[in-house]
Structure 1
């Protein structure tokens, strides 16, 4: 899977978020492309972000940068680690869920 934006390493860490656990890329509903973060998306495109609606949370839209396993949004929201390779996901990403997913 190709990761768009400004990744700085093979795990998809970007110039905005590049900590040890910043290994998740998200497929944006609006363009069907994986980006490491909403900032990379916004700086790389000329369209507005669209949130994933709750009824589509079973879509595979999350990519583990370590093993390239795709998770559904529901799987991602329920796990703190990749279910395939056990790599830890950044728990602080939860602070930004509302920029990707319909949370209300």
Structure 2
């Protein structure tokens, strides 16, 4: 006697519609990100020397409006610390090392 196995149909396509951006929209988004980075970077550069020896390769989340930063060994912990104080504020994440970035390209 053979068993009949139910067959599943695979989902086709994307769940969410794909966003099509114009070149102008891409450029605007890129310039907004760069401007936000330029506001956060001085805060990171100012505080990096005091933490690089004791907190090397930890994460620093910077909130540029207040100038506050949150440091943790885990990236999500630092993000959650910033979200507790500033729930809707955008933040930038740095890694406390010579370059400020995690990994290499």
Same fold (TM over 0.5): no
The structure having more radius of gyration, on CA atoms, is 2
- TM, length-normalised to structure 2: 0.32
